[in-house]
Each structure stands twice: as structure tokens, then as C-alpha cells.
Amino acid sequence: MDIGIVGAGITGLTAAYDLTQRQHKVTLYETRPYPGGVAAGFHDPNWEWSLERFYHHWFATDKDAIDLVDRLGARDRLFFPRPVTSVYHQGNIYPLDSATSVLRFRPLSVLDRLRLGLVVFYLKTVRNWRPLERVTAAEWTRRIAGEQSYEVFWKPMLLSKFGEEHFANVNMAWLWARFHKRTSRLGYFVGGFQAFIDLLVEQIEHDGGMVHLRSEVLGIDAGHGDVTLRLPDGQACHDRVIATCPPHALAQLTPDLPDQYVQSLKSLQSMGAIVLVLALRHPLTPEHYWINIPASEGFPFMGLVQHTNYISAEHYGGDHLVYCGDYLPTDHPYFTATKDQLLEAYQPGLTKINPCFSQDWIRDAWVFAEKYAQPIPFLNHARNIPPLRTPLPGLWMANMSQVYPWDRGTNYSIELGHRVAEEILR
């Protein structure tokens, strides 16, 4: 078959890899000037390795990602450090990534620490998530873990991810997925995720696939035999097309989709993500990799990720790399703010983490934003997930909304790419 793929993110690249391995003709069209989507990296002249635009890692249980690395013959480039993951609470930073650290978490009473540990153990061991999507995460954790634990631990997590408007309506299956398969060891690829992406592109092209960058798809015409992609310099016809763009983008690109189906796509809501990446001359903290910051603490961002407390600064010319990240509604003013404006807004938060921090610590800074970053799963969300096959013959959809109940992540993007390729072949 002749197959077109709209988008060269991880899902599109994985599908292309599977299909070219089976001798099909595959062409990918990517609007950006680089492959990899939100997992892609960038490179500073001072660095040996690239750095992800949005912080990324794998878990030791991410089977699809590990298997794909194996298939690419690059297992020796995958490694799993054990960095410190923490939470900020009333001026202190507490490691919170093991049973022992939970028992030492002083903001909770001894009884509530035990209840918290038991709840996490339950979420890691229970397999059937279906009943959990019938209750909100806020209601379930308050009832099962207790009021104090909810206010100190669970509610801040939900608020940080989904904001005041949505946190109380997110279902418990989503929260179950965040704990069920996660591990304290976090995987990384030698050279950064971009090195993994480049290896995947190299293999696709070796097997006859084509990856067109800076190639925006302006429209999709389907339902009349071949599927036609409208491009700035003409059009391309394919036997099958996989669209890996966000659901609302597919609705805009494809005028032939039935109205009811379009409304179902538009009903899928998501949060945007924004990060300020800092290259610092000094470390912000001595050990913490990931610091979750509750919204109630008054910070201008919800997460502080110190990449070089996970991966050595020697790969980045001695820079100490820090992400200040947040999930926000797509109309938030930060999405139109300049780098200098974000630096000004974020500096008080950085100073709260380390009172010695000052502007002259910053060697360089970058801002990255993505308006389709975190799907919002409401009650009984499984019934809202569209199938991979659209109502139009030859047109398939595969995007982050379809990895539910799992949280967003490259492992599930890879699994989705395998799944859509297999369905097309079937």
C-alpha cells in the first residue's frame, strides 16, 4: 500500500517504522522543521547532547519503548538512573518517591502517611481500572485516603495538572494510571531523546520511507477512493492516511467528516503546556530532579525539573539545566508572553527554591509551548474515545487522546503507533 502519515511525532514515526518494515510505501508530512513532535530536542553549541523541549523520561515498565529501542539495535544506549523526586510544602522540599520517604513525610500525621502508602500500593496492584472511571479522583482520594492527605497530596496534584476549572471532574482511572506502572528508576537515551528520534527516522528512510519536514498539510479529502492531502505546493494521493494531529485539527482539516463525528472530536478537551528552560551557571538545588509544587504555594509554575540532577551536566558543557513548567488553559496570557516576560514572572518562584538565585546565574533561556498537551478525562471517559478508524474510507486517526486511560507519554505514543499500523494492515 501507499500510506501517508500526517505528523512525524512519535506515533507517526512508529507507525511508519512498522509499515516500512513490511515493505509498504510510506510518506510522512511534518509541519515543524524537525521530527519528534513534543518529544523532540534542541541543541546549544556548548552541549554534547541535545535536550528535550519538554522534559521527558521513560519508566522501567515502559515495555513498548524499550522493545522499540531493542529493535533499533540501540539497547546499549538506554540507561535507568534513580533521581530524587520531591514535593514542595510550606517552604520545605520533601523527597517522596519510595515507601520510606512516604513514612518520613512530616506534613502528614503518622496515620495519614500509612494510609497514603496503602493507597499507592493499592493503585500499583489493582488491574481493573474500569470501575474507577465512574468516580472522580477528588471524591475517591478524599474518601479513601482521608481529608488531610487529600488536601496536602492529592488535590495539589490534580490542581497542578488540570487547574481550578477541571481538577474536580477528572476521573480516578487517570490517577490510577499515573501510579500503576510508574517506577522510581527513570530511563534516558544516550544523546537525548532526539538521538533516539533521529535513529528511528534513519531506519524509516533506510527502508524506503520518506519524511518531509516543513510540509504542512492544509486539508484532507477522503471518501472518494484515494485519500488526498492538500499541500502548499500541490497535492498527494495515498491508499491510506494516518492523521496524528490533535482531534480538533483533524476536524478542521477534513470537511467530509460527518457532523456528529466532528462534534465528538470537538468535545475532547485538553490543557496546554508551557516551559521555560534555563541554562544556569550554578545548580538550583543539590539533589532534587523533579519537584512538584502545589498551586496553593503561590508559585508561578507547577513543576520544577532540574535535568542535570538526573543527567550529568558534563554532557551540557557544565550548564545546570532547569525546566519551569506548567499546564494551562490555551487562552492563558503565558502563551503569548515573551521570554523576558516569563523570566520576570518566574524569578520569584526560583528565589523561593533558592534565595541565592539571581539573574546573573542565567547563561541562556528558551521558551516552548504546546497547546495540545494534556487530554482531560472526565467521568466514563472511555465511551468518548474515538476509534482509530474514522468514518471516511482510508482515513485513520491516532493521537494522544486515544492512549486513555494512560497518561500522556512517549511509551504510549509508541504503543499507539504499533496499534494503528496493525489495524491498517489487518
Question: What's the pLDDT band for 333 if we cut at 50, 70, 90?
Answer: very high
- Tell whether 59 is covered by a domain: no
Question: What's the pLDDT band for 94 if we cut at 50, 70, 90?
Answer: very high
Q: Taking 90 as the threshold, does the pLDDT of residue 275 lie above it?
A: yes
Mean pLDDT of 230-254: 96
For residue 134, the enclosing domain spans 98-180
The overall pTM is greater than 0.85? yes
Our count of domains for the chain comes to 2
Same structural domain for residues 197 and 168? no
- Tell whether 367 is covered by a domain: no
Helix (H) or strand (E) holding 342: helix 339-353
Amino acid (1-letter code) at residue 30: E
- Tell whether 245 is covered by a domain: yes
- Tell whether 217 is covered by a domain: yes
Max Cα-Cα span within the chain: 67
pLDDT tens string 79-89: 999 999 999 99
The two beta strands, 234-238 and 226-231, are antiparallel
pLDDT tens string 352-377: 999 999 999 999 999 999 999 999 99
Q: Taking 80 as the threshold, does the pLDDT of residue 224 lie above it?
A: no
Among candidate residues 308, 367, 301, the one with its CA nearest the CA of residue 335: 367
Distance, in Å, from the CA atom of 342 to the CA atom of 368, rounded to the nearest integer, reads 11
Same structural domain for residues 165 and 118? yes
**The pLDDT value given to residue 113:** 95
Same structural domain for residues 162 and 196? no
Mean pLDDT of 54-66: 96
- Tell whether 67 is covered by a domain: no
Same structural domain for residues 200 and 144? no
pLDDT tens string 124-165: 999 999 999 999 999 999 999 999 999 999 999 899 899 999
Within 13 A of 51's CA, how many CA atoms are on the CB side? Answer: 35
Residue that is last in its domain, among 180, 204, 231:
180
Residues in contact with 201: Cβ distance below 8 Å, sequence separation at least 6, in sequence order: 8, 13, 35, 211
> Alpha carbon of 378 to those of 136, 169, 191, 413: distances in Å?
8, 6, 38, 21
Same structural domain for residues 114 and 168? yes
Distance, in Å, from the CA atom of 414 to the CA atom of 12, rounded to the nearest integer, reads 9
Same structural domain for residues 12 and 150? no
- Tell whether 138 is covered by a domain: yes
pLDDT tens string 10-20: 999 999 999 99
Same structural domain for residues 202 and 250? yes
Same structural domain for residues 175 and 226? no
Q: Taking 80 as the threshold, does the pLDDT of residue 261 lie above it?
A: yes
Residue that is last in its domain, among 180, 207, 236:
180
Same structural domain for residues 138 and 195? no
- Tell whether 228 is covered by a domain: yes
Same structural domain for residues 252 and 206? yes
Q: CATH number of the domain that 393 lies in?
A: 3.50.50.60
- 181 CA to centre of own chain: 15
Residue that is last in its domain, among 159, 180, 201:
180
Same structural domain for residues 128 and 175? yes
Compute the Cα dihedral for 255, 261, 267, 268 and give only its sign. Answer: negative
Same structural domain for residues 147 and 199? no
